[in-house]
């Protein structure tokens, strides 16, 4: 199980969390949910950056155009502090000098980031420290990558086979890095504000090259741009791009679920126009004119479906999946996210404001614990087996305005404490009871 520890990063003063297969943060605005999600993302991007460094070393003996002579730690420092950290959190000189974050992939493999380093004029910038065990493994992989490069350069591989050898080298590097981290999942971040991002398109494609985009938005738009062509014949036919067998789910059933949730089938027509064909109607509308709820959920649904069709295990961070959605739709969406995580053996990390979403997750987790006790037959009459959140696989925390946080699971770790889910309803009921008392006094 992974773990993240954060000190003094924006609104987050002191936070520690075990990262499970299902993870949920709930809390009011500005309590630090996005900061925590971005911190998790940052450390997973470091793993991706290490992999890319080894790719370039093996193929070109260069990193971002520079000859590799300063070695791993120095070579990737600039990318981490300028292209990743600053684009996630903003300029480091505006942040508290006591900032410290640490991510444990295991007890021995961890990465730490802090602002302990300073330039000549005293401005602090992010420094990254790797655990001794991780550094040893990276040095080993560095030597392997150098050997791969030498093998290609010294003519040991024919020109005809060089491209194939590069592909094999890439696969080997990915496998080796994943083994070091004990984690084979690529990270994806589905940000909030998806309705705006959905309409950030024109007849020629998504504006993924637009200036001044933050890193998360840029990567999100680039991923959409890379996969939306798979929907040229609609959601129902997207599976044809990934073969037709071997899935742990029924693609026809799941594609119909998407259409039901969207209230229409998504098409990317002629490589330039995104439309919804409205269910039970001959009407077709452009995505730009769909409802805000449809726009919000469109690429959340589509991206998870593509990952399912690719059978790609992934670590997916989703901000506010419930935005602009009616409560009944929020229930369906939470069940769909659980389905994705289960059939893909993936990890999901959700931030939310919705007590409905949390209540649905609590029910699915309760079902998983009842199944572990041998009540599977009865449980599966109530919930779909593929949406059950298994026992011991949920982490859920509530962030407070006073910069404190609370574990939402009960003492037995079998369900979410119901009284912590929606205190506003209690307040509303108290007001109603008081008003009803006034009415009785008027009689």
Q: What is the pLDDT of residues 2-30, one digit of tens each?
A: 999 999 999 999 999 999 999 999 999 88
Section 200-227 average pLDDT = 73
The per-residue pLDDT for 260 is 95
Distance (Å, whole) CA 342 – CA 358: 18
Q: What's the pLDDT score for residue 415?
A: 86
pTM across the whole model: 0.92
- Asked whether the CA dihedral 207, 208, 210, 216 is positive or negative, the reply is positive
DSSP category for residue 51? H
Q: How sure is the predictor about 413, in pLDDT bands with cuts at 50, 70 and 90?
A: confident
| Nearest 10 degrees: Cα torsion 426, 20, 102, 86 | -80
* Position 71 confidence tier, pLDDT thresholds 50, 70, 90: low
Residue 203: the pLDDT is: 41
Q: In this model, does residue 366 exceed pLDDT 60? A: yes
**Per-residue CA distances from 321 to 20, 222, 318, 331, 404 (Å):** 19, 20, 6, 11, 24
113 CB-near residues (< 8 Å, 6+ apart): 42, 43, 85, 99, 100, 101, 102, 126, 127, 128, 129
In percent, the amount of the chain with pLDDT more than 70 equals: 91
Residue 212 burial (CB count, 10 A): 6
- Asked if the model's pLDDT at residue 179 lies above 90, the reply is yes
Please state the rounded mean pLDDT for residues 74-100: 83
407: β partners: 397
73: confidence class by pLDDT, cuts 50, 70, 90:
low
Q: Which pLDDT belongs to residue 312?
A: 94
Q: Which residue has the tokens 């504000």?
A: 193
pLDDT band of 204, cuts 50, 70, 90: very low
pLDDT reported for residue 72:
64
Taking only the tens place, the pLDDT of each residue in 106-119 is 999 999 999 877 66
pLDDT at 197: 77
pLDDT at 68: 66
Name the average pLDDT for the chain.
Answer: 88
User: Is 50 exceeded by the pLDDT of residue 202?
Assistant: no
- What is the four-CA torsion angle of 63, 315, 343, 306, rounded to 10 degrees? -60
What does the pLDDT average to over 281-295? 90
């Amino acid at each position: 199980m992974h773990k993240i520890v954060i000190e003094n990063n924006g609104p987050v003063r002191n936070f520690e969390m075990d990262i499970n297969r299902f993870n949920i943060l709930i809390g009011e605005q500005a309590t630090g949910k996005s900061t925590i999600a971005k911190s998790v993302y940052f450390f997973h991007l470091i793993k991706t950056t290490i992999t890319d460094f080894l790719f370039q070393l093996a193929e070109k003996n260069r990193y971002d155009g520079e000859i590799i002579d300063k070695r791993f730690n120095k070579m990737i420092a600039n990318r981490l502090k300028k292209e990743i950290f600053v684009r996630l959190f903003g300029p480091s000189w505006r942040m508290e000098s006591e900032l410290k974050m640490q991510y444990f992939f295991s007890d021995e493999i961890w990465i730490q980031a802090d602002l302990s380093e300073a330039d000549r004029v005293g401005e602090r910038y992010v420094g990254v420290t790797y655990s001794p065990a991780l550094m040893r493994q990276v040095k080993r992989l560095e030597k392997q990558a150098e050997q791969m490069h030498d093998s290609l350069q010294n003519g040991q591989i024919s020109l005809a086979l060089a491209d194939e050898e590069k592909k094999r080298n890439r696969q080997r590097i990915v496998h080796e890095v994943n083994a070091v981290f004990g984690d084979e999942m690529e990270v994806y971040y589905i940000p909030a504000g998806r309705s705006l991002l959905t309409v950030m398109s024109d007849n020629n494609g998504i504006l993924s090259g637009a200036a001044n985009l933050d890193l998360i938005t840029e990567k999100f738009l680039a991923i959409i741009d890379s996969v939306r062509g798979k929907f040229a014949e609609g959601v129902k036919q997207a599976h044809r791009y990934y073969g037709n067998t071997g899935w742990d789910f029924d693609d026809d059933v799941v594609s119909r679920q998407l259409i039901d949730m969207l209230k229409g089938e998504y098409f990317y027509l002629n490589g330039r126009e995104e439309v919804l064909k409205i269910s039970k109607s001959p009407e077709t509308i452009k995505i730009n004119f769909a409802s805000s709820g449809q726009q919000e959920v469109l690429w959340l649904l589509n991206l998870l479906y593509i990952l399912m069709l690719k059978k790609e295990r992934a670590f997916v961070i989703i901000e506010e999946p419930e935005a602009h959605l009616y409560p009944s739709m929020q229930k369906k969406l939470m069940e769909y996210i659980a389905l994705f995580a289960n059939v893909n053996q993936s990890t999901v990390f959700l931030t939310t404001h919705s007590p409905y979403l949390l209540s649905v997750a609590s029910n699915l987790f309760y079902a998983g614990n009842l199944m572990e006790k041998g009540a599977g037959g009865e449980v599966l009459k109530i919930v779909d087996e593929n949406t059950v959140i298994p026992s011991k696989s949920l982490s859920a925390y509530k962030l407070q305005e006073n910069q404190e946080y609370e574990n939402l699971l009960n003492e037995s770790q079998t369900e979410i404490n119901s009284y912590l889910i929606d205190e506003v309803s209690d307040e509303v009921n108290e007001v109603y009871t008081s008003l009803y008392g006034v009415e009785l006094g008027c009689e």
